Structure 1
């Protein structure tokens, strides 16, 4: 393989006059949004799509029967009128038409907030009437709706159920705030966890997480806005320390009886992939040991909580990371789809409920990123998956019986696509490095466009002159693996001149910065800095997302080591360019990227002259258990790895100018990281710059983000550009 293979993708012109403002680094994505059909989707059981009008006030439709002409299906006024008719004694202020989910050809489901209560409603688009409305209090959270018009919701750390007749019952009454019931914030939402309650299909029983974190030490976060600063304690189990204990409980609505599922010992384990069997007799739970290298997918009796059997197991020398609940095959309670990257790439496997593997549904090295669901016959599954070394997203369809896979979209780029209920047409929305946005109706058989609904022009044309953006392919430090990179050239680029460089990076798992979509995945701040005269470079090193498990697990027990080695290959590439000023290279990243920025500033002090590290991990022993121990094991098990990757004893190596930014109430990478590094710099006699954003957590949001980007740009201009 050649060391550097180029794919030149030109956006905009090379002559520049108009540039982004610092405000537009934050507000620009809305201001310069490509023309689109917002919230477009197939109307169920029809050859029609729905979407929101340009002002978001109406639900629109385009149908094959009308040659895809636009029509208003439901107006905001009609929805408001139906709400007044159905729900008396409450008031609604709809700023826009809500997002909808089609339940049938003529009915959609949505959630709305009234003045007094929140509602889940079913609306009939033919009669323009609400056919069902299920309510729960405004102060309730994490509502989960049952099929029989009941809703479970959280009041603080306890579960309430509002019955179909409007009566509310308390499921739990724990006064100790260290006992948390029904919350999706369990195991710090690792392992694909996004909810904490599950109704069975008939709505007669509710399964829920019960998290006991009383044994986890309190960690203080200070709110400086009060007259006297107020301390807010959170539970933050650090690597190697005591973790929370979680169980799954089943509550029977009729009897009020609770059964704890017998997931066994030790108590410090992870429970995920919680799924009801369609009959309601059994519950399936993935039980992962604290070491995160042994998963058991177990079946339990829902009535007694008794363990029935282990359907399958996964063991690894690195880690096992379940990310998806199982999906049962419709109308077949004996079969389900399981997603796992255990065999190299996150792909689908068809299993029976007795644990037999029926079919491997994987395709080449495609990583499944979004399972869209089954076709009308329940014999095929549609999904979005990767292509082109992780740069692209394409629509695929796999046949359950044969296991044969068909790629339904073909144009290189990032596709957001779905198939009509009858399986004959595709609603395809895509962009790539030279295409801002294109939406078409494709024919499934020949993959050709029947109708182009949107072909967006460059939204910057005549307003902002964009720099040249180029996708490049490099090779990893081991000489074996292609890596995706992106260069944004400076304004008024002159190949005979030398330019300073800003490397923007992340580098950690579950993140990808370089993609084949509009702007090649670049952020507006990247473009802004290029327009200020910087070469802006980004590369997804090994350890990042969308390339399979082997691509990621090189970081096991040594976070940052191989990631930095790959980034230095990017630096070699940059230094080979005559227009790069090798004496003016800086680096910027946030979170894991902040860890990488600080690591490079100390490990490669002669290369990087300026660094900005936002919310940086400084020592992995201060990070939380679930993420930290997956990649590093515990400090007790891997003292050498923790010592090697800690930056506290590396502060003495710092030569360049380093700005560390932290949110003062960060509950993810706690401020202890950066404070300890500052102290290490002081003891080492090293100057370092530090800036806190009060009242912000792990990132800086809202208009304050404009201030943050202005500070970062000024830091580079002051210490690198001049």
Structure 2
């Protein structure tokens, strides 16, 4: 009897082991949002610093509301507006508060143009009397309140207009706007993509002047794409796209005075072939700051323009042997002294200048980088910023006096910390993640970093993931070509060091980028878990040219994109392949965009190291890419032909030995399908076999409907078959 009980017990235990096996992750789960992290809704602080507003949408009624919450308690206090109470519109997609918070711009029928630009039908809501006014029947761009909320300036069909909210009068400021020729008040394609802004006009502090940029792109070469759609005949998208070494838009600065309706071009100086990547009014309503950058992007002048006479004076000049990064970190204090960030000492740091552009002092110093500038609190006389002081894979939030003293670390957990401050710098919401922790959101006192309350975490996601027993993403370093490079690795959950595993490497590698950080799984990391379950080891190495380890490390690739970065990936693969548990004959590499350029080069130049590569939306020759990005790192093809050609995959196709998969979106306005088509032709003429796929009409992100699921199924099957 006793023996029978033991036997039955063993059977129960064995069957429990069988049924308690870990769940296997599927591609469908990855791309249907099963592992989507909870995020904090996009919020905006109100001027009082004690409250913030959030745009909420009611899916059942298809209505939108702007709701007010308390920072301290997180409780909803009231609604600024609810579209359920508005007869004119059912809902809206976005909103913008006037400076005094008396009026709100609401966007409806939003139509995306490029990555950052859109046009929409806008309404103005008066918070006090709850009246709703339609700005225009037309879809317009970048509407912006004047400082006193009495007017709105906007762009329609490349011309600037103002709208008087009291009289309802519309005034047209410019008249020469024309598609693919003249643009007023918004940027051309290449400025939008590479200088990361769309609105190219600005009100001064008193609303008496509007400064704006005019782009003459008449002589910029056109690029065209066939959009196949679902109709009998495809349509053609034609737009101005300056490729490396080609003609750019001619940009000019104008000043418009509202009272006199005087519109005048500002003479900035004797500049030839230049950029104006930023304009910003100072605290003085008559002084506009303008940044002028030469075409090589290694010489920048900060210019002050006096709106009373349009005289321009250079107040600061910065040069660099390689290039100067453009940021939004310029901040003017009440006396018109200003805060600026620069890599001039070899690391990105904060500097303070007086109103005449004379350096007062370097605020931050050390062999670490300021990675985000949050702003200046005049009441506490403190600057808030994020940095890599605790390691290049980590981020922390700090405050410091402008004199560089009394630095305070405001975040304590090791990992990636990012702050969102209230308007008066009383509070900040900290977003935190690490390799072991999905996003957590907490509220802190900005004075000392003390925790006020927990807002949201992803504990439910961790509970869900427990059933899968995912492998850890382990951070480490690897010594390659005399540098300690950051690396992460994911191994199969049943990893056996006595076995040999195929290795798949992922990288991006673009200048100043970072793929290795102390952060939790992204969508691709779940895909890597699926591959790890299939018996693959996945690794990423950030080689030379990537960011957050000083200017010299980042800028070593200057004029030779694809040389040192590829060398580091090949040598890292060799070092990893020498490990007992990695099969050196089964090493693959993949990447997207710049990463596709890299993976293509890797399987060609490293054909004895990599047996497989996948390139998604790759740049195949920098001659095909846009002027601003490419010339920043390469100068022009006319000046540097060998730099362009020696590291271009299209010139090394005869070296292909392994399995190569080439993928592109047919409607990619950024990295054009031309890249893949030229690579295909070169491979065909070299009689090299390869696989390829084109996703019709899809842009650089290759998404929409089942597109991502199809794409990753394709890549998964290719990896399983070839690696």
**TMscore range, shorter length:** 0.7 to 0.9
Deviation string, structure 1 residues 164-222 (Cα, Å, up to 9, x no partner): 22221222222542111111346433245443111111222211111111111222211
> Aligned ranges for residues 13-162 of structure 1 at < 5 Å?
17-28=22-33, 31-35=34-38, 37-39=40-42, 44-45=47-48, 59=67, 61-62=69-70, 64=72, 68=73, 71-74=75-78, 79-80=82-83, 84=86, 90-93=88-91, 111-113=106-108, 117-119=121-123, 121=125, 123=127, 130=130, 135-137=135-137, 139-148=139-148, 149-162=150-163
SS at match of 1:299: strand
TM-score by length of 1: 0.87
Deviation string, structure 1 residues 387-425 (Cα, Å, up to 9, x no partner): 433212211112124554322112111113345667665
Matched, 1:549 2:551: yes
Shift of 1:640: 2.0
Deviation string, structure 1 residues 299-351 (Cα, Å, up to 9, x no partner): 223244332x211212222222322362111xx14212122223323322222
Deviation string, structure 1 residues 275-301 (Cα, Å, up to 9, x no partner): 113333222211111122211112223
> Aligned ranges for residues 526-565 of structure 1 at < 5 Å?
526-565=528-567
> Structure 1: 5+ residue runs without aligned partners?
1-14
Partner of 1:697: 699
Give the distance between the partners of 2:175 and 2:458, measured in 1 at CA.
Answer: 54
Matched, 1:228 2:233: yes
> Aligned ranges for residues 77-476 of structure 1 at < 5 Å?
79-80=82-83, 84=86, 90-93=88-91, 111-113=106-108, 117-119=121-123, 121=125, 123=127, 130=130, 135-137=135-137, 139-148=139-148, 149-164=150-165, 165-174=167-176, 176-177=178-179, 178-185=181-188, 187-189=190-192, 190-225=194-229, 226-307=231-312, 309-324=313-328, 326-329=330-333, 332-375=334-377, 377=379, 379-418=381-420, 426-443=428-445, 447-457=449-459, 459-462=461-464, 464-475=467-478
SS at match of 1:587: strand
RMSD: 3.1
Deviation string, structure 1 residues 504-549 (Cα, Å, up to 9, x no partner): 1100024322211222896433333323332111122221233332
Shift of 1:270: 0.8
Q: 1:510 to 1:402 in 2, by over 3 A?
A: closer
Q: 1:342 to 1:273 in 2, by over 3 A?
A: farther
TM-score by length of 2: 0.86
Partner of 1:635: 637
Give the distance between the partners of 1:362 and 1:194, measured in 2 at CA.
Answer: 31
Contact 2:29/2:35 (CA < 8 Å) preserved in 1?
Answer: no
Q: 1:441 to 1:213 in 2, by over 3 A?
A: closer
Shift of 1:662: 1.1
SS at match of 1:527: helix
Contact 2:409/2:449 (CA < 8 Å) preserved in 1?
Answer: no
SS at match of 1:577: coil
Deviation string, structure 1 residues 77-135 (Cα, Å, up to 9, x no partner): x6236x63xxx6x223258xx6787968x9796644389941355647xxxx7499783
Deviation string, structure 1 residues 52-97 (Cα, Å, up to 9, x no partner): 7898977464564xxx3x5332359x6236x63xxx6x223258xx
Give the distance between the partners of 2:696 and 2:485, measured in 1 at CA.
Answer: 37
Shift of 1:33: 3.6
Q: 1:624 to 1:418 in 2, by over 3 A?
A: closer
Contact 2:83/2:89 (CA < 8 Å) preserved in 1?
Answer: no
Between stretches 39-48 and 52-61, larger displacement belongs to 52-61
Give the distance between the partners of 1:662 and 1:456, measured in 2 at CA.
Answer: 34
SS at match of 1:529: helix
Q: 1:685 to 1:156 in 2, by over 3 A?
A: same
Give the distance between the partners of 1:244 and 1:473, measured in 2 at CA.
Answer: 45
Pick the aligned partner of 1:706 from 697, 701, 709: 709
Shift of 1:449: 3.2
Partner of 1:607: 609
Contact 2:408/2:448 (CA < 8 Å) preserved in 1?
Answer: no
Deviation string, structure 1 residues 466-496 (Cα, Å, up to 9, x no partner): 53223333345331x3322111122433333
Q: 1:63 to 1:255 in 2, by over 3 A?
A: closer
Give the distance between the partners of 1:333 and 1:137, measured in 2 at CA.
Answer: 42
Partner of 1:592: 594
Shift of 1:377: 0.5
Give the distance between the partners of 2:695 and 2:620, measured in 1 at CA.
Answer: 18
Contact 1:432/1:520 (CA < 8 Å) preserved in 2?
Answer: no
Q: 1:240 to 1:446 in 2, by over 3 A?
A: closer
Deviation string, structure 1 residues 551-583 (Cα, Å, up to 9, x no partner): 210110110111112223431342133222221
Q: With a CA cutoff of 8 Å and minimum separation of 6, indicate the structure with the bigger relative contact order.
A: 1
SS at match of 1:530: helix
Partner of 1:650: 652
Contact 1:431/1:437 (CA < 8 Å) preserved in 2?
Answer: yes
Between stretches 530-539 and 359-368, larger displacement belongs to 359-368
Shift of 1:650: 0.2
SS at match of 1:583: strand
Q: 1:663 to 1:455 in 2, by over 3 A?
A: closer
Partner of 2:690: 688
Deviation string, structure 1 residues 420-440 (Cα, Å, up to 9, x no partner): 667665533312122223333
Matched, 1:581 2:583: yes
> Structure 2: 5+ residue runs without aligned partners?
1-19, 111-119
Q: 1:673 to 1:143 in 2, by over 3 A?
A: same
Q: 1:251 to 1:411 in 2, by over 3 A?
A: same
Partner of 2:13: none
Contact 1:514/1:522 (CA < 8 Å) preserved in 2?
Answer: no
Between stretches 534-543 and 141-150, larger displacement belongs to 141-150
Q: 1:142 to 1:422 in 2, by over 3 A?
A: closer
Shift of 1:235: 1.4
SS at match of 1:539: strand
Give the distance between the partners of 2:552 and 2:264, measured in 1 at CA.
Answer: 40
Aligned residues: 683
Contact 2:592/2:616 (CA < 8 Å) preserved in 1?
Answer: yes
Contact 1:344/1:549 (CA < 8 Å) preserved in 2?
Answer: yes
